[in-house]
Amino acid sequence: MEEKCPRCGYVTPRHRNPVPTVDIIIEFGNQGLVLIERAKAPWGWALPGGFVDYGESLEDAARREAREETSLEVTLLGQFHTYSDPSRDPRQHNISTVFVAHGSGTPQAADDARHLRIFAPDEIPQTLAFDHGRILADYLKVRPQWLRKLRRVVRFAKN
């Protein structure tokens, strides 16, 4: 495909690029991990997340998506990993940067979320939307490290 500049008429190839998204692994107190049941296809339980708006940082997108879908304010603990398998989303090729966060407030499903539930790690559904099963399996292998970081952040916030 080609694109023509409306001002000068220069023709340049148009690139078809993957779309940036974020997913957020939200630790909620000592209760577990926040998952949403999607209100739109692809159906199923999933991590909160969504598309990065033009002009928005990945971090701001993660905080916004968490607030929109879970009604929680989150403190980002850091980037976990980026997932880029072209088949991870049946709608199009998305690249997701996954954050780990601590959630505060009253969890309530909103926006693209039909339901919200906090799952203990051993209660996470076997089948999740997108590649979120893989993401959570990867996370659970290193979760103790993130929980140590979370305890330091929460302790610091209380002082």
* 18-67 pLDDT per residue, tens: 999 999 999 998 999 999 999 999 999 999 999 999 999 999 999 999 99
Rounded to a whole number, what is the distance in angstroms from the first to the last CA of the chain?
57
What's the CATH code, domain 17-158?
A: 3.90.79.10
Task: Tell which residue, 32, 29, 36, has the closest CA to residue 117.
Answer: 36
d(CA 149, CA 115): 28
Amino acid letter for position 85: D
pTM of the model: 0.90
